[in-house]
């Protein structure tokens, strides 16, 4: 649906992912009626659009990613206290404290603007965005839905505002969408920002993708049809099978890593197969490989070893007809929802189980702890480092926005680490005493140095000394995580060595 298309409240209601009861439908309609009256006569920068279209599109984005009635209600009302005569107190009186709190949280985040350098942008925005996450994740989800529609209508703003908002989106909002696992919003935010921040390379990449897709479309259609028949013959009930292309910004980043050589990009265009259950995923992989020869070394099982943001899927690259390489992604419907909508998808599945029972951070309806472990880690970490802005900056970049890997303890516990993390980072993530007493390490049973860069999926064993603690100044030079740096400095200060 186009961001410029006029929509109604019925459009929003039709896109809600679960069965609404009368009470919740009435709640959403009541919020729409108040917002429509409050914004009456207001126009957006396009002049032709009535302002109410913005909260409606924000609410639609929230409905599409699977959020509940209260969050959609807050999305409809998110600009009311700031831009109209209706106060937050009036919203609380009419819709209750919980919805008023969500609206207030979005209003406060809206006041944070990019000023000065990128450094200041990170410091000013990220601290507040992450604190909002740690208190109620829905505030950030509403803000992402709001920002997505703002980016889709950015053409109507002056060039200097376009640049500021696009930079803020690329540097702050897209990484947060990625960390929350909301692949669809992350990809769209990046592409929209890319269009304004680097129009020349945007146009080049867009043409390249368009030309490649045009050349390969017949082959893709043929493979989709052949796989449909083959899977049906083998008794696999397919939910969906379709061709897909990479997002433009993601493609451009990959091109840069491969000297702008399109022939080296194996996942430019691919096919996604969605099936009903886990067993079907692996059966489907076998059927695909029986039909088309796989490229050795290009099978990635993110089901048994998910990405740190929760992404699960099987990826394999095949030789298609005509000699083209083609990536095939295989996943269940639940995995697909989680890949597209991330943390928001948990509302969809819990709604189905619990019937319209919202759950959020710091409440009796909380998102399960394991789903947001890193948000809680962040809250503790912020408390530990206090007000040191430089340390906060560096930690954010490495701990939260850098690509992540998984490593295992010898007992099979998963340790989530940023790329290039070392055995000392691993040790401190296990426990501060394991880090302090570390004297050596093994990866997959072989001795490694303490500054070794851990690879995804390795089993790391830390060798410790019972007799003495071992942290040294040298460790600070090569560790990657702020947790490890903080613990080493804490020990050295305590011993009078720093």
475 — phi, psi (to 5°)? Answer: -60, -35
386 C-beta neighbours (distance < 10 Å), count: 9
Verify whether residue 146 is a known catalytic residue.
no
Q: Which string of DSSP letters, residue by residue, matches 380-434?
A: HHHHHHTT-HHHHHHHIIIIISS-EEEEE-TT--EEEEETT--HHHHHHHH-HHH
Cα distance between residue 256 and residue 208, in whole Å: 14
- Joined tokens for residue 117: 């350098």
Contact 154, 148 (CB under 8 A): no
Question: Beta strand 460-464 with 446-448: parallel, antiparallel or unpaired?
Answer: unpaired
- Joined tokens for residue 444: 């997959």
Among residues 83, 206, 371, 391, the one annotated as catalytic is 83
Cα distance between residue 112 and residue 314, in whole Å: 39
- Joined tokens for residue 246: 């990479």
What distances in angstroms separate CA 295 from CA 99, 254, 266, 320, 457, one per listed residue?
51, 19, 10, 10, 21
Question: Beta strand 300-301 with 314-319: parallel, antiparallel or unpaired?
Answer: antiparallel
Verify whether residue 83 is a known catalytic residue.
yes
Nearest 5°: the CA angle 24, 36, 125 is 85
Cα distance between residue 251 and residue 262, in whole Å: 9
Cα distance between residue 140 and residue 95, in whole Å: 20
Rg (CA), the chain: 24
How many residues belong to the chain? 498
Helix spans in 234-277 (H) = 248-257
Question: Beta strand 438-443 with 269-275: parallel, antiparallel or unpaired?
Answer: unpaired
Cα distance between residue 226 and residue 218, in whole Å: 12
Contact 405, 454 (CB under 8 A): yes
- Joined tokens for residue 119: 């450094």
Place of tokens 């017949």: 218
6 C-beta neighbours (distance < 10 Å), count: 13
* Bridge partner residues of 440 (DSSP): 463
Nearest 5°: the CA angle 442, 447, 450 is 75
Question: Beta strand 414-418 with 438-443: parallel, antiparallel or unpaired?
Answer: unpaired
Among residues 82, 120, 277, 433, the one annotated as catalytic is 82
Cα distance between residue 362 and residue 291, in whole Å: 50
Cα distance between residue 192 and residue 170, in whole Å: 9
The catalytic residues are 82-83
């Amino acid at each position: 649906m186009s961001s410029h298309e006029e929509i109604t409240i019925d459009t929003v209601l039709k896109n809600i992912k679960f069965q609404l009861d009368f009470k919740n439908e009435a709640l959403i309609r009541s919020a729409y009626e108040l917002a429509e009256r409050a914004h009456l006569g207001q126009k957006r920068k396009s002049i032709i659009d009535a302002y109410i279209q913005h909260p409606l599109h924000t609410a639609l984005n929230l409905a599409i990613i699977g959020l509940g009635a209260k969050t959609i209600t807050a999305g409809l009302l998110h600009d009311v206290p700031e831009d109209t005569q209706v106060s937050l107190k009036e919203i609380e009186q009419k819709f209750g404290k919980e919805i008023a709190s969500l609206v207030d949280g979005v209003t406060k985040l809206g006041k944070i603007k990019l000023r000065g350098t990128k450094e200041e942008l990170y410091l000013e925005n990220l601290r507040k965005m992450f604190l909002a996450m740690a208190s109620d994740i829905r505030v950030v989800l509403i803000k992402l839905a709001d920002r997505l529609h703002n980016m889709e209508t950015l053409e109507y703003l002056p060039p200097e505002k376009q640049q500021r908002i696009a930079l803020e989106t690329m540097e702050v909002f897209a990484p947060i969408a990625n960390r929350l696992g909301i692949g669809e919003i992350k990809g769209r935010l990046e592409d929209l920002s890319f269009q304004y921040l680097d129009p020349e390379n945007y146009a080049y990449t867009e043409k390249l993708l368009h030309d490649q897709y045009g050349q390969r479309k017949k082959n893709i259609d043929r493979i989709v049809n052949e796989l449909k028949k083959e899977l049906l013959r083998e008794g696999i009930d397919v939910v969906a099978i379709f061709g897909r292309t990479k997002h433009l910004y993601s493609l451009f980043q990959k091109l840069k890593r491969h000297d702008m050589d399109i022939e080296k990009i194996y996942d430019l265009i691919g096919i996604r197969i969605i099936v009903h259950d886990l067993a079907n995923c692996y059966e489907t992989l076998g059927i695909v490989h029986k039909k088309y020869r796989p490229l050795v070394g290009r099978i990635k099982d993110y089901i048994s070893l998910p990405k740190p943001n929760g992404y699960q899927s099987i990826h394999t690259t095949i030789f298609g007809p005509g000699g083209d390489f083609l990536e095939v992604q295989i996943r269940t419907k639940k995995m697909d929802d989680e890949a597209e909508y991330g943390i928001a998808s948990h509302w969809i599945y819990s709604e189905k189980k619990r019937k319209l029972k919202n759950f959020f951070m710091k409440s009796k309806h909380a998102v399960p702890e394991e789903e947001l472990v890193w948000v809680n880690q962040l809250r503790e970490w912020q408390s530990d480092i206090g007000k040191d802005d430089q340390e906060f900056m560096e930690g954010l970049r490495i701990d939260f926005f850098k690509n992540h890997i998984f490593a295992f303890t010898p007992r099979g516990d998963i340790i989530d680490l940023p790329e290039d993390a070392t055995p000392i980072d691993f040790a401190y993530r296990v426990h501060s005493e394991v880090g302090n007493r570390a004297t050596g390490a093994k990866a997959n049973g072989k001795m490694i140095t303490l500054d070794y860069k851990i690879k995804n999926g390795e089993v790391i064993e830390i060798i410790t000394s019972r007799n003495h603690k071992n942290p040294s100044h040298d460790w600070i030079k090569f560790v990657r995580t702020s947790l490890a740096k903080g613990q080493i400095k804490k020990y050295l200060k305590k011993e009078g060595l720093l």
